[in-house]
């Protein structure tokens, strides 16, 4: 039913993950409606009512609810050429929750407990470069420029390229990994697929955290949070961190000013004055 919409999104250069998410949410909503009530023939008021009921039944998170509303709105606009107002269903922004930050010791402990060479190289690369998991699995060998000592992240979030310095500390591990696995196109390739999957890497990270006895609420993305926070702890300029992370808005980067220990360590307790 949504093949045409899939084609439209792909032609408009939406990322593969966005296309998969939007189509998946639409299919789930259509299954909830049933075959007798196709999404492209619903009355607007009925659509809003059932969509609200569907969201409540699924107990969607803030982000998933936003994605569903965006998917339905875009489907009506692009595939059906209709404008539909779903503003009443858009969730209010949740209270900001600061991420749990892994310390440098905890990151090292996680990596030390990752014994498989490919897994260790992948997790280390994410932390060393501050990558999103999608950027890691999309990273090609051709993106590594040994002469200029840079790594280019192509068409990252927002369809923007960015260049990152290639850390000397990462090179020995990647050389060892390359000699062992001999990838031909993507830096990290799957056993039966050209790319390693994000789901597999998330599973690897969870297993390593368990072995390292990490009790914080962390995900694979926490390595990117740790990268940014540790740079800030070391005194790296906020604008530079913004460039390295590929944030379009400095406000996104500023969240790390609330979790860095650099300024907090300079604050004296009143007890010190006694």
Any catalytic annotation for residue 160? no
Distance of CA 26 to CAs 11, 195, 259, Å?
Answer: 18, 26, 37
Annotated catalytic residue: which of 119, 224, 225, 230?
224
Any catalytic annotation for residue 256? yes
Residues with Cβ within 8 Å of residue 227, at least 6 apart in sequence: 127, 128, 129, 130
257 vs 233: CA distance, rounded Å: 9
Any catalytic annotation for residue 215? no
Annotated catalytic residue: which of 113, 118, 157, 202?
157
Annotated catalytic residue: which of 132, 186, 196, 230?
132
Angle between helices 104-112 and 198-211 (to 10 degrees): 100
Residue whose C-alpha is closest to residue 217's, from 101, 66, 58, 76 = 101
Alpha helices in the chain (DSSP H): 3-11, 16-33, 44-58, 62-74, 104-112, 117-129, 133-137, 171-181, 198-211, 222-233, 238-245, 250-253
Any catalytic annotation for residue 224? yes
144-145 and 162-165 strand pairing: unpaired
Annotated catalytic residue: which of 76, 196, 227, 256?
256
50 vs 211: CA distance, rounded Å: 44
Annotated catalytic residue: which of 154, 171, 206, 247?
247
Any catalytic annotation for residue 157? yes
Any catalytic annotation for residue 37? no
CB atoms within 10 A of CB 211: 14
DSSP assigned state of 186: B
Strand partners, 145: 150
Residues that are catalytic: 132, 157, 221, 224, 247, 256
């Amino acid at each position: 039913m949504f093949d045409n919409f899939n084609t439209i999104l792909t032609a408009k250069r939406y990322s593969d993950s966005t296309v998969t998410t939007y189509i998946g949410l639409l299919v789930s909503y259509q299954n909830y409606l049933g075959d007798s009530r196709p999404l492209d023939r619903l009355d607007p008021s009925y659509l809003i009512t059932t969509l609200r009921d569907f969201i409540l039944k699924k107990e969607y998170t803030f982000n998933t609810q936003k994605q569903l509303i965006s998917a339905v709105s875009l489907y009506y606009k692009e595939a059906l050429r209709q404008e539909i107002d779903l503003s009443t269903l858009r969730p209010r922004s949740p209270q900001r929750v600061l991420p749990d930050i892994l310390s440098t010791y905890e990151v090292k402990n996680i990596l030390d407990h990752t014994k498989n060479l490919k897994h260790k190289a992948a997790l280390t690369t994410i932390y060393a470069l501050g990558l999103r998991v999608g950027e890691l699995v999309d990273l090609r060998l051709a993106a590594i420029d040994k002469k200029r000592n840079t790594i280019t992240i192509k068409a990252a979030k927002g369809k923007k390229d960015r260049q990152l310095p290639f850390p000397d500390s990462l090179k020995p591990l990647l050389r060892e990994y390359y000699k062992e696995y001999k990838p031909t196109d993507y830096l990290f390739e799957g056993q039966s697929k050209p790319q390693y999957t994000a789901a597999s890497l998330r599973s690897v990270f969870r297993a390593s955290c368990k072995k390292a006895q990490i009790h914080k609420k962390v995900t694979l993305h926490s390595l990117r949070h740790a990268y940014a926070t540790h740079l800030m702890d070391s005194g790296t300029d906020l604008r530079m961190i913004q460039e390295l992370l590929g944030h379009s808005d400095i406000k996104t980067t500023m969240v790390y000013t609330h979790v860095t220990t650099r300024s907090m360590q300079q604050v004296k307790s009143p007890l010190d004055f006694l």
